[in-house]
Amino acid sequence: MTRLLYALAGTDKARQFSPHVWKTVMSLAHKGLDYETVPVGFTEIKAVEGGATATVPLLRDGDRLVRDSFEIALYLDEAYPDRPSLFGGEGGKAMARFIESWSQSALHMAVTRIAILDIHNLLDPTDQAYFRRSREERLGASLEDIAAAGRAEIEGFAKRLQPLRNTLKIQPFIGGEGPLFPDYIVFGALQWLRTTAGTRVLAEDDPVALWFGRCLDLHGGVGHRVTAA
């Protein structure tokens, strides 16, 4: 059986950069499941699997189509219970919901502001036009003005990670002694920044930077599959 993972890409089809796709990449690796990546641009998503989704990741696993990185992680734990768990039980699922809310509110907009022009420049011309129009409408400013605001985000980014930093001073992963899906949620946000802008926002000896390095090395170094921008 061939698994297919539809993943966002720009001109370089090998440079997947979506934070949500990276959550699923790490989830599949955590489970030890093989798959093929199908790269798609922003404007190609609506044609995927006959219009099955408006966003990626989208996973085809045999006859099953599963949308959304969190739903995919839940599905993988249910479908493959004999393989390492992504949540470690119901408590882990509840923790992951909180971590996802925190990551989305504390990190994603900051990364958007820092990397928005870099993301635009990774895209084909058709996707560039879509990206500029949709993001400027959503954020109420030009990409250039958003990027200018992003310069202030770089200085304050490390402070946003203080709750995570405090946790990682006493344990190697958010999941404890080993990684769980909550680790992959935050990893996805930082990997998004790494693969688009490559902006350094953490000191090398920061506990979060050391944790991110451990995450990059997980599962045979799958996180290193895409080099830093």
Residue 216 has pLDDT above 70, yes or no: yes
Please say whether the beta carbons of 24 and 72 come within 8 A.
yes
pTM: 0.97
Kindly state which CATH superfamily the domain 3-79 is placed in. Answer: Glutaredoxin (3.40.30.10)
pLDDT per residue as tens digits for the range 76-104: 999 999 999 999 999 999 999 999 999 99
Kindly state the tokens that stand for 91. Answer: 């408590």
CATH for the stretch 90-221: 1.20.1050.10
* pLDDT tens sequence across 151-203: 999 999 999 999 999 999 999 999 999 999 999 999 999 999 999 999 999 99
* pLDDT on residue 1: 63
pLDDT for 186 equals: 98
- pLDDT for the residue numbered 2: 84
Average model confidence (pLDDT) for the chain?
Answer: 97
Of the chain, the percentage scoring pLDDT greater than 90 comes to: 99
Buried b (16+ CB within 10 A) or exposed e, 24-45: bbbbbbbbebebebbbbbbebb
Query: Pairing between strand 36-40 and 3-8?
Result: parallel
For the chain, the domains span 3-79, 90-221
- Over the stretch 50-60, which tens digit does the pLDDT of each residue have? 999 999 999 99
pLDDT the model gives residue 47: 97
